[in-house]
A and B are shown apart, each in its own frame.
Chain A
Amino acid sequence: GAVVSQHPSRVICKSGTSVKIECRSLDFQATTMFWYRQFPKQSLMLMATSNEGSKATYEQGVEKDKFLINHASLTLSTLTVTSAHPEDSSFYICSARDPSGRPDTQYFGPGTRLTVL
């Protein structure tokens, strides 16, 4: 199946710094990517939908100025957590839709563990 990668897999940062997480579709062009966050022992919560070449659509309660999403190419979306605080510590997971495949098939990345000290 299609492969989605994320980088970094783990990041530890100090409070107040910004962290960028990359999501790449390795063998297909993803017109749409999605960003989720997952707290321990909880489900995945959708943060935003990212369409290539346009602004991301954020879910209610997700601050767009806090979580900057850029989808500048068909294989790369980035999530930047700005001025990170300990409450932003979470597991961030992206997924990508392959437009050439089944319409609803989404492939998930391996996740990025963010720890803010």
Chain B
Amino acid sequence: GESVGLHLPTLSVQEGDNSIINCAYSNSASDYFIWYKQESGKGPQFIIDIRSNMDKRQGQRVTVLLNKTVKHLSLQIAATQPGDSAVYFCAENSGQAGTALIFGKGTTLSVSS
């Protein structure tokens, strides 16, 4: 089965609000985590990543938090915009070069203006 999953299937927010999308993983050996954004009919687009030796990483308007104790990953989007509407997936792998990413089930973010 999938080693990464758990999510809220949908999240609806108002423009300008902050969004938090959650993900749980079960593989303690997972070393590398990535958040992807997928718009309808397109391939996944890289947002931000984090390695297991970190607990927080910030990008432009996005922050990823990693809690290894409870195997939980979250993506925070600041000042959410309508263009952020998409499906968001967390993905993980063991960190070994050449291994595939395992994707979680995804959360659909809807931003209303």
Evaluate contact between A46 and B46: CB separation under 8 angstroms.
no
Evaluate contact between A110 and B43: CB separation under 8 angstroms.
yes
Known: A104-B32, A104-B93. A44 touches B44 (CB 8 A): yes
Evaluate contact between A108 and B45: CB separation under 8 angstroms.
yes
Q: Which of B32, B42, B89, B95 is within 8 Å of A44, CB to CB?
A: B89
Would you call the interface of chain A mostly helix, strand, loop, or mixed?
Answer: strand
Q: Which of B93, B100, B105 is within 8 Å of A43, CB to CB?
A: B105
Evaluate contact between A110 and B100: CB separation under 8 angstroms.
no
Q: Please report the total number of A residues contacting B with Cβ < 8 Å.
A: 29
- Contact residues on B (Cβ < 8 Å of other chain), bracket: 20 to 34
**Closest-CB distance, A23 to chain B (whole angstroms):** 10
Closest to B93 in A: A104
Evaluate contact between B43 and A111: CB separation under 8 angstroms.
yes
Q: Which of B46, B97, B100, B104 is within 8 Å of A34, CB to CB?
A: B100
Instruction: Taking A43-B2, A43-B104, A108-B46 as given, write out 15 further A-B residue pairs in contact, using a Cβ cutoff of 8 Å, ordered by the A residue number.
Output: A34-B100, A36-B103, A42-B106, A43-B89, A43-B103, A43-B105, A45-B103, A91-B41, A99-B97, A103-B95, A104-B32, A104-B34, A108-B43, A111-B41, A111-B42
Can you list 27 A-B pairs, Cβ within 8 angstroms, ordered by A? A6-B43, A36-B103, A43-B2, A43-B89, A43-B105, A43-B106, A44-B44, A44-B103, A45-B103, A46-B101, A49-B99, A51-B98, A93-B44, A99-B97, A104-B32, A104-B34, A104-B49, A104-B93, A104-B95, A104-B97, A104-B99, A106-B101, A108-B43, A108-B44, A111-B41, A111-B42, A113-B41
